[in-house]
Amino acid sequence: MTPAPSEDLVEPPAPGGGPFEGGASAPGPWGDLEGVGERICVLSDVHGNVYSLEAVLRDIRKVGCDTLVVAGDIAAHGPAPVESVDLIRTLGAITVRGNTDRYLAEGSAPRAGTRDPEQSLSLDWSREQLGADRLRFLGELPPSVTLAGCLVVHGSPGDDERGIWPYTTDADIDAHGWVGTLLCGHTHRPFQRRVAGGEVVNVGSAGWTLDGDPRPSYALLERDRAAAAGSWRVTLRRVDYDRSQPLAELERRQVPWRSAVSHYIETATWRTPAVRALP
C-alpha cells in the first residue's frame, strides 16, 4: 500500500426537527437502503466534534438531502463523544463502523499500536464517557453497506485501518475488487477520482480535515439521469464554523491527547512530516 504520513491519527437539531424534512427523529427515507432518492449526503470521521458536525448538518439542510450516510469514526478523541453519537442516532442515518468505533466498542487498539500514550488515554476517556448503550450501538454497526450502486466503507473494502489517499495508485485501489462508486473516509483528506472499476470518493472528515484546509468536508451525490443507471454526480462540499468552540471544550473537559486534536482542528495538518506504510 502507498505510504501515508506517520501520524498518530491514521489509526486514527433545529427546533422542531433535524436537518431533513420531517424532523430528526422521524423514520424518514434517509435510512432506507432501497429508496435512497435523488440526493445522498455522505459524511465521515466526526471524532467527537459535535460543533463541526452541527455545521455540516446545517449545510446539508440547505442543499437538501434524501439519504444521509455516515462512514464511521463518530466519537473517539474529540471533546463531545456523547453528543456526537446521540446526534447521529437521532438522524436515523445509514451508518457504518469505523476503526475507532471498533476500538471503543471492543476495548481494542490499532494493529500497529500507538506511539503516543496520550492517544490510548484519549480512547479510554471517550469509552468512559459513552457508557454501555452507546458502545453497543457503535459495536453493532456494519463494516460496510451497499446502496444504489455505491459501496460505503470506512477505510477500504475489508479493512477499516487501510485508508485510500489521493496518491494511492489505481492498481492498489483496483485490487479491492469493487464496481461502481466507492465511498470512504478514514484519511481525513477529501478527493474524488475515476478508476477502472468506477469512482472513488473520499468524503474527508466532518470533524477535522487534514489537507491544509480546516473546514470540515462531506460529499453530495446527485443522481445523474443522463448517465448509466446507478451513476451519481459528486460534489465535495466544505463548511466553515467557529473552531474556538471545540478547542475550548477540549481544555475545559481536559480531554487526553488534546494538544494533537487541537492542532488538527486549527491547522488541518499533520504534526510530523515522516511517512510509513499504513497497517
Which three cell numbers mark 87? 446526534
Give the whole-angstrom CA distance, residue 47 versus residue 44. 9
Where does the chain show beta strands of DSSP type E?
3-5, 39-43, 67-70, 94-95, 144-147, 150-153, 180-184, 191-195, 198-202, 217-223, 232-238, 275-277
The amino acid at residue 224 is D
Q: What is the pLDDT of residue 113?
A: 67
Compute the Cα dihedral for 189, 190, 194, 197 and give only its sign.
positive
H or E element that contains 136 = helix 117-139
Boundaries of every domain in the chain = 39-271
Asked if 12 contacts 48 with a C-beta cutoff of 8 angstroms, the reply is no
Q: What is the pLDDT of residue 167?
A: 92
* pLDDT by position in tens, the chain (length 279): 333 333 333 323 332 233 443 333 323 334 445 567 889 999 999 999 999 999 999 999 999 999 999 999 999 999 999 999 999 999 989 999 999 999 999 998 777 666 688 999 999 999 999 999 999 999 999 999 999 889 999 999 999 999 999 999 988 887 677 778 999 999 999 999 998 878 999 999 999 999 999 999 999 999 877 766 568 999 999 999 999 999 999 999 999 999 999 999 999 998 764 433 332
Domain formed by 39-271, architecture:
4-Layer Sandwich (3.60)
Q: What is the pLDDT of residue 28?
A: 35
Which three cell numbers mark 185? 473516509
